[in-house]
Amino acid sequence: MQQQYEGYKDLADSLKSASALLNLEHKSQLHQDIITICNHLINPSFRIAVFGPFNHGKSTLLNAILGNRTLPIDLIPTTGAAITVKYGSDVRTRIILVDGTEISRSGTEVLQQFAIIDGNRQMRKDVASVEVFCPHPFLETGVELLDLPGTNDRDEQDNLVREQLLSADLVIQLLDARKLMTLGERENLRDWLLDRGIKTVIFVANFLNLLEPDEQKQVQNRLVFVAESFRAELPPGFSNLYRVDALPALRARLKGDVAAANSSGLAAFETALQNIVGILQPNRGSVRLPRVQAIASQIQLSLKAKIDPIALEIKSFDDKENSKIEIKQKAANLIYKGFATSVGELRDWLTLPKLLAKYQADAAVALAENNFKAWQTNTLKKDLTQLQFAAVKWLYQAYEFFQEERPQDLLIPFPSDPQVILPSKPSNTDDLSEPGSIAVGGGIGWLLGGPVGAAVVGSISYLLNKNIQTQDEQLAKESYHQEVAKLCITAIEDYFSRFSSQGLSILNEYEQKAEKVICFEFSQQLLEITNKRENLQQLQNGFNQLLQELEKVKILSNHQPYKEIPKYTNTNKKYSPQPKRVQTSPQKDPGIKQQQENTAKNSETRVKSVSPRPEEVEAKFRDWELNEEIARMKAEMRSPKACRQTSPASQTGKQQNTTQGNKAPNQAKTQTEKDKITRAYSILGLQPNASLVEVKQAYRTLVKKWHPDLFVGKPQLLKQAQEKMYLLNEAYRILSEK
């Protein structure tokens, strides 16, 4: 039993904690009920309360059970406090006042001062509790008797009775046989007992001896009907209806008249009462827990009424914050995707095989013609600048979006110019004997002209188209201009090797610095939301704890435990896409010579406009799509503010203020817009009202077909492509904004 009451203590603590979370007023009915039931849960005594309207003989019945005039009785309402009768070795009274003062007296005379109503039929407001101790064997078994003030007299008395009934394990409802079950008694039976889970009730009819025999029979039939209509939860085999003539019973007990006590019904009632208590007392939990269930249900509903609005508000806040973070994460990933792609293209361009394959022939020719500086500026630097800009622009996109660390420019310098020292000319050759030929050697440059110069250029083209590693022995007898061509090729290879090694190293360092730019820091949540989140957590914990304690004592609930609302990401850390850098070795590729075989055509024509490959157009379109997506996300980030600035109400007002005079121009403008939209669909080759996805796909396909870069060197087609692109761009803009 002790273990059972320890479990009830946890339940009581949980009820009190939940009550504290509700911030109930101390005088509120729910707060009073919670305190009462909590105290009752851990009370080891079995309490029997006598309940009924004033002047029904409640105190008289209790005095008859006790065998003396322990409690005050009179012909007018007397009991002005809830008097608890407990076991004691002698009769004494203890009164606790509201201020904590304890008054202890031998006997019960002090009750006349503190426990009866005054001349104005008012209870004393300074009395907190009244206890009477009596040496009765029934009380010695752990039973307490509770004498309550009469109901239907004053509201404050009714409130006291209603509160005390919750702490009674067994209720004796005293009925007046002369006016059986008034409307007020039926209402109290429903509101104060049944609706609060109090069903261990015994009806006792008093004053039946004052009626004529015929009337007694009629009243007895009515009493049976009342008892049967109330489904009391008593042990099987026991009736919930008894007749006791309280005053004759008390007189018989005071005189020791056993026969009179039996005829008054007291003996039969006492026997049944003791047997019922003997059965219910060992399992008081089955009596008390239904009252807990009724109160817990009220607490849970009250907690839910507080929890749900706060949870909804926090979820709305979290959804907005998570949406912003999701947009930022997506933007960071998109920007990094564009940056990584551009860096990858630059890294690929900087690899030595690619540099040699694309530029070695032209660079060697420029070197042979003493025109390397101009070629470097007009060709190599131009391509490098374009690739550098393509990478850096993504970091500026990130800075504009996240406002983190300002990006640095990517600067890859060129190495010193290649140097070639002309070999000594052979004495047995007349290669340089042609008129107008000049040779300058022994330094960082030379000048070749005439047929010999042309021969050197031709040799460069020839040598780069041959696999030098597999040349036969006849190369040892190669001509002077071939030897010079090899020196040019070697010098350019060394130049690009230094350029590739330095460029890739700088690019790797730059990529590491980019991590500080393409990132963002999670925002701090508002103090108000933080406090609400903590309050919500406390409320939910209290609700869940109460639900858990109810389950322990087998009290079922229709409610489910609350799950913690997922918090939006707020770690005070920076989010970055976690780039995976590719470390490219600047060492020479053993297959360089093999990759040089296909460069002859590039060197044959040194001044020629080269059209981009289709994959280059695809890359440009990819960048355009990423830029468009980032711009859309920026608009989404600003949309809440824009919505506040232009509310639907204000727009409605504007529409209502539109006069009849300006309706015609608006209609004409609308028709013009419709015509533009129809024409835009036609330009893209779509049916009217095609989806935005279809519009985007059609635009993408047509751009790949008509991009001007595809028609470089073809003036007529280039002009046609430019005009076509203008129409496509305009059509896409119109359909995207409609």
pLDDT tens digit sequence for 678-694: 888 889 899 888 888 78
Which of 209-223, 514-528, 568-582 is predicted with the least confidence, judged by mean pLDDT?
A: 568-582
Give the lowest-confidence range in 62-71, 431-440, 506-515.
431-440
For residue 454, what pLDDT is reported? 58
Q: Are residues 413 and 489 in the same domain?
A: yes
Instruction: Give the residue from 545, 578, 610 where a domain finishes.
Output: 610
CA distances from 437 to 432, 448, 453 (A): 6, 7, 8
pLDDT at 474 over 60: no
* Residues ≥6 apart with Cβ < 8 Å to 48: 143, 144, 145, 146, 168, 169, 170, 171, 172, 273, 277
In a shared domain, residues 267 and 356: no
Q: Would 694 be classed as within a structural domain? A: no
Are residue 275 and residue 405 in the same domain, yes or no?
A: no
Does residue 329 lie within any of the structural domains?
Answer: yes
Q: What is the pLDDT of residue 49?
A: 94
Determine the structural domain holding residue 177 and report its residue range: 49-283
pLDDT single digits (tens) 63-86: 899 887 767 654 334 566 788 999
Number of domains comprising the chain? 2
Q: What is the mean pLDDT of residues 271-281?
A: 94
Q: pLDDT-derived band of residue 4, with 50, 70 and 90 as boundaries?
A: very low
Half-sphere exposure (Cβ direction) of 467: Cα atoms closer than 13 Å: 7
Lowest mean pLDDT among 45-49, 398-402, 490-494: 398-402
d(CA 445, CA 372): 10
The pLDDT assigned to 67 comes to: 84
Share of the chain above pLDDT 70, in %: 75
Same domain, 109 and 206: yes
The encoded tokens of residue 231 equal: 């489904």
pLDDT at 42: 87
Last residue of a domain, one of 283, 313, 330: 283
As a whole number, mean pLDDT of residues 171-200 equals: 86
Position 618 scores a pLDDT of: 56
Q: Tell me the three state secondary structure of residue 212.
A: coil
Identity of the highest mean pLDDT range in 89-93, 229-233, 650-654, 697-701: 89-93
182 part of a folded domain: yes
Together in a domain, 138 and 66: yes
Sign for the CA dihedral angle at 213, 219, 223, 224 comes to positive
Residue 225 in any domain: the answer is yes
CB count in 10 Å sphere of residue 108: 22
Considering 550, 582, 610, which residue would you say is the last residue of a domain?
Answer: 610
Residues 400 and 485 in one domain: yes
Q: Say if 465 falls within a structural domain.
A: yes
Do 157 and 227 fall within a single domain? yes
Given a cut of 70, whether residue 453 has pLDDT beyond it is no
Tell me what percent of the chain is helix, strand and coil, each rounded to the nearest 5. 60, 10, 30
What sign has the CA pseudo-torsion 15, 21, 26, 30? negative
Are residues 201 and 262 part of one domain? yes
Residue 119's pLDDT band (cuts 50, 70, 90):
low
Q: Above 80 in pLDDT, residue 219?
A: yes
In Å, how far are 160, 161, 543, 646 from 151, measured between CA atoms? 9, 7, 36, 64
Q: What is the mean pLDDT of residues 606-633?
A: 54
- One-letter amino acid for residue 455 of the chain: A
- What does the block give as tokens for 170? 């067994």
Highest mean pLDDT among 218-222, 246-250, 468-472, 703-707: 246-250
Angle formed by the axes of helices 246-255 and 266-280, to 10°? Answer: 100
**Structure token digits, residue 40:** 């009752």
**CATH code of the domain in which 270 resides:** 3.40.50.300
Instruction: Judge whether 526 lies within some domain.
Output: no
Query: Are 255 and 388 part of one and the same domain?
Result: no
* Residue 661: band (very low, low, confident or very high) from pLDDT cuts 50, 70, 90: very low
The two beta strands, 143-147 and 127-134, are unpaired
- Same domain? For 437 and 355 the reply is yes
pLDDT at 107 over 60: yes
Least confidently predicted of 1-15, 290-304, 480-494: 1-15
pLDDT at 33 over 80: yes
The residue count of the chain comes to 738
Tell me how far CA of residue 61 lies from CA of 56, 222, 253, 272, 435, in angstroms.
9, 22, 11, 15, 150
Residue with token string 């930022």: 328
Can you tell me the mean pLDDT for 712-725? 81
Let me know if residue 393 belongs to a domain. Answer: yes
What confidence tier does 568 reach under pLDDT thresholds 50, 70, 90? Answer: low
Q: Show Cβ contacts of residue 477 under 8 Å, excluding neighbours closer than 6 positions.
A: none
Tokens 């003791």 correspond to 274
Confidence of residue 352 (pLDDT cuts 50, 70, 90): very high
The residue assigned the tokens 């007046």 is 176
pLDDT of residue 155: 80
Whether residues 514 and 580 fall in one domain: yes
Give the span between the Cα atoms of 469 and 451, in whole angstroms. Answer: 28
> Are 446 and 595 part of one and the same domain?
yes
Which of the four pLDDT bands, split at 50, 70 and 90, describes residue 621?
low
CB-count exposure of residue 572 (10 Å: 0-12, 13-18, 19+): exposed
Q: Indicate whether 307 belongs to any domain.
A: no
- Tokens for 549, please give them: 């304690």
